[in-house]
Structure 1
Amino acid sequence: MDQSSSIFASWLVIFFSLFVTLASVVPQAEARAFFVFGDSLVDNGNNDYLATTARADSYPYGIDYPTHRPTGRFSNGLNIPDLISEQIGMESTLPYLSPELTGQRLLVGANFASAGIGILNDTGFQFINIIRISKQIEYFQQYQQRVSALIGAEQTERLVNQALVLITLGGNDFVNNYYLVPFSARSRQFSLPDYVVYLISEYRKILARIYELGARRVLVTGTGPLGCVPAELAQRGVNGECSVELQRAADLFNPQLVQMLNELNSQIGSDVFVAANAFAMHMDFIHDPQAYGFVTSKIACCGQGPYNGIGLCTIASNLCPNRDLYAFWDPFHPSEKANRIIVQRIASGSSKYMNPMNLSTIMALDSRV
């Protein structure tokens, strides 16, 4: 081979390897990032990096995860953020505290959620070291600085503006605050209707701040049927009936949340905030578990005591052999199969479940922009 052919061949190799590198980077940079804020329903493992009792880091958590190991998700397998990532064609976002969240992986987004937290800073105080929502928002700012160093400020702003955001808050403000103990500080301070008004006003500030930081498509889940989870059937329910008081809390909270989101949207002049009716989604399989292939929606797959509803799931707990037959994995959290039904509703549910639109509509609208 003469010298010019050799130089040409070398350039060809360099060009080809550069093309392959760019091809692997560009789709990731162009794909939609996904950010998650909230509590244990959406925590992908941040609490594993913290000295807290609110952890899902031991067997049998993760028994049906691809690695069959605990990941910090409060699930037998995948949780709601994982399944939404599947829907938008992305790999799962990593916990923000994960040392693996660097370089190109930052462009996929980040999960800031932390089990035990609520809208209020005093919610989940018994878990000690958890990432309060104010800290999660601080981390979101820090994340943007890290990505700016990687792709520049303008590209970072575009990535955040075009991202999908999920936020799940509110349940713990009842279960791990107002109703945590009889005559809790908050229940002495507020009647239940006044407490809900206070929560909604605080939540509004949180959402306004996330909008200020660039979020333009935010899925906001209401609380599920708090009184019907196995933990509450065990502690407060009578004859296997849902706890009336906790159901009342959810009944007050959820409509006011939707109203507040509608007000924010009309103030902004755009459908930034989308309400996901988690209460209706759960009640479908609580009312008629067999219609969804479950044998029960009262007894948790993993736990101890009545309805397997006492404490969290541990290696010493009762464990069902087939998780797909149970609507609840542990005393508080849905099984992966139940999460799949919920995400199906988020993706293509009617206005009964999603207001003002579902995720498929969001994706179709945004792809035209």
Structure 2
Amino acid sequence: MDSPSVLLASLLVCLVMVMGIVAPQVEARTFFVFGDSLVDNGNNNYLATSARANMPPYGIDFPTHIPTGRFSNGLSIPDVFSWVSNLFSLLSLSHVISIQCERIGAEEYTLPYLSPALTGQRLLVGANFASAGIGILNDTGIQFVNIIRMFAQFQFFQQYQLRLTALVGADRAQQIVKNALVLITLGGNDFVNNYYLVPYSARSRQFSLPDYVRYLISQYKKILQRLYELGARRVIVTGTGPMGCAPAELAQKTVNGQCEPNLQRASALYNPQLIQMIKSLNSEIGSDVFIAANTLKMQQDVINNPQKYGFVTSKIACCGQGPFNGLGLCTAISNVCADREIYVFWDNFHPTERGNRVLVQQIMSGSTDYMYPMNLSTIMAIDSRT
């Protein structure tokens, strides 16, 4: 993990690379996060729930080397995003910066909304409202009992805006929210911890898989519409990864390490329909508010060819127990790999910090095969001129 001084030095090198021209600095872009455990930075630490990552060795590679509530060995997807978005808000020539420079940005991470430290000027950095275990549907994750479902995340977002208004005034608060970058990650739990949680689950008896996917998409559209009503104007929407390829599924449902077919079919049905829904929603709004990240393709590429991305394995989790280290959560008594850089998965479901970085790099610079209608570099370049 690079120190702030190393990051600053790297930033200066990047500025020199941009034709020797340094753009005037502007206010850093605020960042908001909604969703599940892939992006929860510690909200669930403040809740009485089993969906928590507050025990070692979680956080082993975080700057503090202690658990923070992130389901990772180190930085989460929002942490990497925070650096990127804030760097690009400071550079009017962001669209010509090389990918090596794109990982550098703010020294401050977006705090969980429930953190007591989220006060005063820290509100200007943004807030993370995500909660492990939640889904698009309110009945997803009922086994975790006390989690922040989407309607509650939006209630907290409204509270945040009132607090921001008290700090900077109504007009500036509205502008900050409008100019913010937003990340939302939902859907995986609606399959893993709902439809396929147990044989003959309530939802699987109610819906065939194709009908369930259509229902999820219809409900997700309502969530995105509500987010727009609350002021969001630049929203990265991630799909699900190849859910059947997670170490948990390999350990429980396969014997030879092949991806579990039912969840793979769910991913294959869900992700294209999500992209189509986002296209339709943008058309209704008349602006490219929502940006679809095809995380299914991104992660499937890595899983199919881990060596191409510098990994050794995409099947075995770095931390866990049982086949593929895929049984149960990562705990102090789990097997833990020595080199986290060469593993795609940290625990039975969640990527390593390096896995998160690869994902964000694709979101940052990926082609339209990965990002629709544009990648984050293009978004930042467009927004820096408006």
TM-score scaled by length of structure 1: 0.92
**1:236 aligns to what?**
253
Q: How many Å separate the matches in 2 of 1:66 and 1:315?
A: 19
**1:218 aligns to what?**
235
- Tell whether 2:331 aligns with 1:318: no
Picking from 41, 64, 68, the partner of 1:44 is 41
- Tell whether 2:68 aligns with 1:71: yes
Q: How does 1:196-275 map to 2 (within 5 A)?
A: 196-275=213-292
Q: How does 1:83-162 map to 2 (within 5 A)?
A: 83-89=80-86, 90=106, 91-162=108-179
Deviation per residue, 1:33-68 (Å, 9 max, x gap): 000000000000000000000000010000000111
Q: How many Å separate the matches in 2 of 1:128 and 1:315?
A: 24
Structure whose alpha-carbon radius of gyration is higher: 1
- The alpha carbon displacement at 1:238 in A equals 3.9
TM-score scaled by length of structure 2: 0.88
- The alpha carbon displacement at 1:31 in A equals 1.7
User: Contact 2:85/2:181 (CA < 8 Å) preserved in 1?
Assistant: no
Secondary structure at the aligned position of 1:255 is classed as helix
Deviation per residue, 1:309-349 (Å, 9 max, x gap): 01110001110011111100000000111111100001111
**2:352 aligns to what?**
335
- The alpha carbon displacement at 1:92 in A equals 1.4
User: Contact 1:227/1:237 (CA < 8 Å) preserved in 2?
Assistant: no
How many residues were matched structurally?
A: 342
Q: How many Å separate the matches in 2 of 1:350 and 1:82?
A: 23
Q: How many Å separate the matches in 2 of 1:69 and 1:176?
A: 28
**Percent pairwise identity:** 72
Deviation per residue, 1:159-204 (Å, 9 max, x gap): 0000000000000000000000001000010000000000000000
Q: How many Å separate the matches in 2 of 1:236 and 1:277?
A: 25
Q: How does 1:154-193 map to 2 (within 5 A)?
A: 154-193=171-210
- The alpha carbon displacement at 1:212 in A equals 0.4
Consecutive unaligned residues of structure 1, counting only runs of 5 or more, are 1-26
Identify which of structures 1 and 2 has the higher relative contact order when contacts are C-alpha pairs closer than 8 Å and 6+ apart.
2
User: Contact 1:351/1:357 (CA < 8 Å) preserved in 2?
Assistant: yes
Q: How many Å separate the matches in 1 of 2:310 and 2:233?
A: 36
Q: How many Å separate the matches in 2 of 1:193 and 1:234?
A: 26
Deviation per residue, 1:197-228 (Å, 9 max, x gap): 00000000000000001000000000000000
- The alpha carbon displacement at 1:285 in A equals 1.4
Consecutive unaligned residues of structure 2, counting only runs of 5 or more, are 1-24, 87-105
**2:96 aligns to what?**
none
CA RMSD in angstroms, aligned pairs only: 0.9
User: Contact 1:61/1:77 (CA < 8 Å) preserved in 2?
Assistant: yes
Q: How many Å separate the matches in 1 of 2:140 and 2:371?
A: 27
4+ residue stretches of structure 1 with deviation over 3 A? none
User: Contact 1:41/1:168 (CA < 8 Å) preserved in 2?
Assistant: yes
**1:195 aligns to what?**
212
